[in-house]
Each structure stands twice: as C-alpha cells, then as structure tokens.
Amino acid sequence: MPMSFWVYMLTNHRNMTLLVGIAKDLTKQLAQDERAYNVNKLVYLEKTDDPISALDRETYINGLSRLKKEMLINRQNPGWQPLPLVYPAAHAE
C-alpha cells in the first residue's frame, strides 16, 4: 500500500495567518504546528502518494500570493470551516 503525504493549510481563529505545510503523519504535524505557530484550523487539504509531488506542491502553494491561496481554499472549503481529520480526503486510500 502506498504511503500518503498531505499538503495542507492551517489558519488561526480570525483567518489572519496562513501556514502551508506537508506531512506524512497529518495528526502529529498539525499538533506540532498548532503549538509552534498558533494556528489551529485546518482549512485546506490535498493528498498524494508521492513525496516529491507533495514537496513540489507545498513549494508552489507557498509561492502564491495571499489572494491565490485564499482562492484555493475557497474552491475546496468556501466557508473556511475547520476540516475534521475524518474529512474524506484525509482517509481516502
């Protein structure tokens, strides 16, 4: 079974900060980011089975303007609701 890698965006309760990250263990990484960066709302999530693709995608998203990052989030999660870790994309294999 291939290993999953996650590209995600977290924000704070006021949606002021956008943190783009990559994770193999999503739950563990989100907990670390919450402590380190004071972001606790998962608003965007992508899955890939290829670590290079995940890294490339993270780098690409990090290079986008704030507006373009918001557009990505709005396409997947228009209300910027916190995505639970039971979000279908997080467990699709």
Given a cut of 70, whether residue 77 has pLDDT beyond it is: yes
Domain ranges of the chain: 5-91
Residue 82 has pLDDT above 70, yes or no: yes
**What CATH number belongs to 5-91?**
3.40.1440.10
For position 49, what pLDDT does the model report? 94
* Confidence band of 3 (pLDDT split at 50, 70, 90): confident
43 close to 52: Cβ distance less than 8 angstroms:
no
> Contact 27/69 with Cβ under 8 angstroms?
no
Distance CA 33, CA 28 (A): 9
Residue 85: its pLDDT value, please?
Answer: 74
